[in-house]
Structure 1
Amino acid sequence: MTHSITSSAKTPSESMQFIKRLLKRKTVAFGLFILVIFTLLALLAPWVSPYNPYKLSIVNRLKPPSELFWFGTDEFGRDVFSRTIYAGRLSLLVGFAVVILSSLIGVTMGLLAGFFPKLDAPIARLIDAMMAFPDILLAIALVAALGPSLATVIVALSIVYAPRLARVVRASTLVIRELPYVEAAVSMGVSTRNIMIRHVLRNLLSPILVQGTFLFASAMLAEAGLSFLGLGVSPEIPTWGTMISSGRQYVGQADWMTLFPGIAIILSVLSLQMVGDGFRDLLDPRLKKDL
């Protein structure tokens, strides 16, 4: 039993080996590089952005990309580069918050459903019912019911994506609870709480980590979609979705208004998917032999 508890925790040397193996894959290294760039730009936005993203300048309205305005300006003369950087801060914040909140909800639901047979049926039916609705439609319904705001978007997306993680955790818990070391812990009188945390949850860290990267990407994409539809944060706050929404009126006249925010969305989501694929390939025992 002791071996099973400690096996899921990597030693420092094993962690370094894992990171080296992860970075050997060019796609994962590229994804991590893009993520680091976006994160640094978001954290250093007040010092990196050359202009105030909220300042209007009608004189510079719809200026094309140049040495003065790298990404051009929008219909109000605001610098698109500065607004793209600040919009990245909000997208990363939403993605991170959604991953944390949806993980708390999904892991709790999955553990309870997988470990307690009496709770399995009702929780499983609830998960199925929530996943029966398309993600974006359910998010729109929740935001419309609660009112558009940053907190509402985070809560709505967390509720939407929690069932995905709950289903994975439930399936893994159903397998783990039947393993010999868990049965031995039960027979020795170990408390249910300790068994769920020390024996079950620690062995679920790998699938939770993998799913978390995919949920991060999905949350950022969904936030952009909600903002595009006018159901996100306040319109004056720059987001990639609102920038694309306002820029669609000027397609053909000022393509840069939609081009650069769109590229930012594509790169951020793609990089997270690359990192998630790398985690999955290295942490899934069925795929290790192929690497």
Structure 2
Amino acid sequence: MADIATNIPTSERSKFFRILIRRKTVLFGLIVLAIFVLLAVFAPLITPYSPSKLSIVNRLKPPSMKWFFGTDEFGRDVFSRTIFSARLSLLVGFAVVVLASLIGVTLGILAGYFHKLDAPITRLIDAMMAFPDILLAIALVAALGPSLTTVIVALSIVYAPRLARIVRASTLVIRELPYVEAATSLGISTSHIMTRHILRNLLSPILVQGTFLFANAMLAEAGLSFLGLGVSPEVPTWGTMIASGRQYIGTADWMTLFPGIAIVLAVLSLQMVGDGFRDLLDPRLRKDL
């Protein structure tokens, strides 16, 4: 883990990024991810119809030049709803990564640096990771009530222990390095050591793990929405679109096909980008590039 935390010199950084971009999988992931971000940002300008506009006379229309992805059981444009759903998925993923990182990094550094806090925090992390992610998320959302804020908080609590475990393991190694021991012997404050000497060298594994948490959070949000435990039903999400299209599989399979493809592409692109960051920031893997 200490090798992963090694900082890359600025002079070499552009070289490594050029090498990674030459890899087709990483380039594909970056392009797909950029497309989703652009679609989410410019959704009101791209979509031809409002995602909530009802048109019963046009219900269950197949894909055509007028309805690119067809329409659903209420005559709503599936293309517009798929594009607008990217906004919520990206928002949830980003918010979960930020909140989970705040919780996980704080717990991990405290557990790794202070011996007295290591045992109780580690037991807490182990206890939370003993539950399957989706079951723990369902329990938290059911207890707090379904809403966008609840989904973000629940998923952050679910994924924070994963990051905390990685940060703790890295902190245990970095804490014993000579420069940290020298800073301690010179009387430098604990807060300064934790932020400047430890946290700074944890940015690489945090960044790599953050990309995977982003993908998992988007997938979990779709699963919660599919089960009816996500945001309000009138808000378009990929999970709710697939759930509403289940009963029309075989007669209007485009209702589930296009949001399903969107989920797969979004999650796959983030996983590819995460693999690329891991190869870039890990010196042991960087030698193979």
User: What band does the TM-score fall into relative to the shorter chain?
Assistant: over 0.9
Tell me if structure 1 keeps the 8 A contact 2:50–2:80: yes
- 1:155, distance to aligned residue in structure 2 (A): 0.1
TM, length-normalised to structure 2: 0.97
**Corresponding residue for residue 187 of structure 1:** 185
**Aligned equivalents of 1:10, 1:287: Cα separation in 2:** 13
- 1:290, distance to aligned residue in structure 2 (A): 2.2
1:136-167 per-residue CA deviation (whole Å, 9 max, x = no partner) reads 00000000000000000000000000000000
1:53-68 equivalences in 2 (<5 Å):
53-68=51-66
1:131-280 equivalences in 2 (<5 Å):
131-280=129-278
Tell me, yes or no, if structure 1 residue 35 matches structure 2 residue 44: no
**Corresponding residue for residue 112 of structure 1:** 110
1:59-87 per-residue CA deviation (whole Å, 9 max, x = no partner) reads 11000000000000000000000000000
- 1:26, distance to aligned residue in structure 2 (A): 1.0
- 1:21, distance to aligned residue in structure 2 (A): 2.2
Partner SS for 2:188 = coil
1:97-147 per-residue CA deviation (whole Å, 9 max, x = no partner) reads 000000000000000000000000000000000000000000000000000
Partner SS for 1:274 = helix
Q: Structure 1: any 5+ residue segments left out of the alignment? A: 1-6
**Corresponding residue for residue 52 of structure 1:** 50
- 1:281, distance to aligned residue in structure 2 (A): 1.5
Counterpart of 2:90 (choices 89, 92, 114) is 92
**Corresponding residue for residue 18 of structure 1:** 16
Tell me if structure 2 keeps the 8 A contact 1:8–1:202: no
**Corresponding residue for residue 129 of structure 1:** 127
**Aligned equivalents of 1:90, 1:145: Cα separation in 2:** 22
Partner SS for 2:239 = helix
Partner SS for 2:200 = helix
- 1:11, distance to aligned residue in structure 2 (A): 5.7
Partner SS for 1:231 = coil
- 1:237, distance to aligned residue in structure 2 (A): 0.3
1:25-84 per-residue CA deviation (whole Å, 9 max, x = no partner) reads 110110000000000000000000010110000111000000000000000000000000
The AA in structure 2 aligned to 1:17 is K
**Corresponding residue for residue 281 of structure 1:** 279
**Aligned equivalents of 2:198, 2:103: Cα separation in 1:** 17
The AA in structure 1 aligned to 2:126 is D
Q: Aligned-residue CA RMSD in angstroms? A: 1.1
- Once structures 1 and 2 are overlaid, which stretch shifts more, 188-197 or 14-23? 14-23
Tell me if structure 2 keeps the 8 A contact 1:111–1:173: yes
Tell me if structure 2 keeps the 8 A contact 1:221–1:265: yes
The AA in structure 2 aligned to 1:53 is P
**Aligned equivalents of 2:173, 2:8: Cα separation in 1:** 22
- 1:14, distance to aligned residue in structure 2 (A): 3.3
TM, length-normalised to structure 1: 0.96
- 1:15, distance to aligned residue in structure 2 (A): 3.1
1:219-239 per-residue CA deviation (whole Å, 9 max, x = no partner) reads 000000000000000000000
- 1:9, distance to aligned residue in structure 2 (A): 5.5
The AA in structure 2 aligned to 1:158 is S
The AA in structure 1 aligned to 2:62 is P
**Aligned equivalents of 1:281, 1:32: Cα separation in 2:** 15
**Aligned equivalents of 1:229, 1:178: Cα separation in 2:** 47
- 1:10, distance to aligned residue in structure 2 (A): 5.2
**Aligned equivalents of 2:9, 2:125: Cα separation in 1:** 36
Tell me if structure 1 keeps the 8 A contact 2:62–2:71: yes
**Aligned equivalents of 1:287, 1:15: Cα separation in 2:** 15
The AA in structure 1 aligned to 2:15 is Q
**Aligned equivalents of 1:148, 1:99: Cα separation in 2:** 20
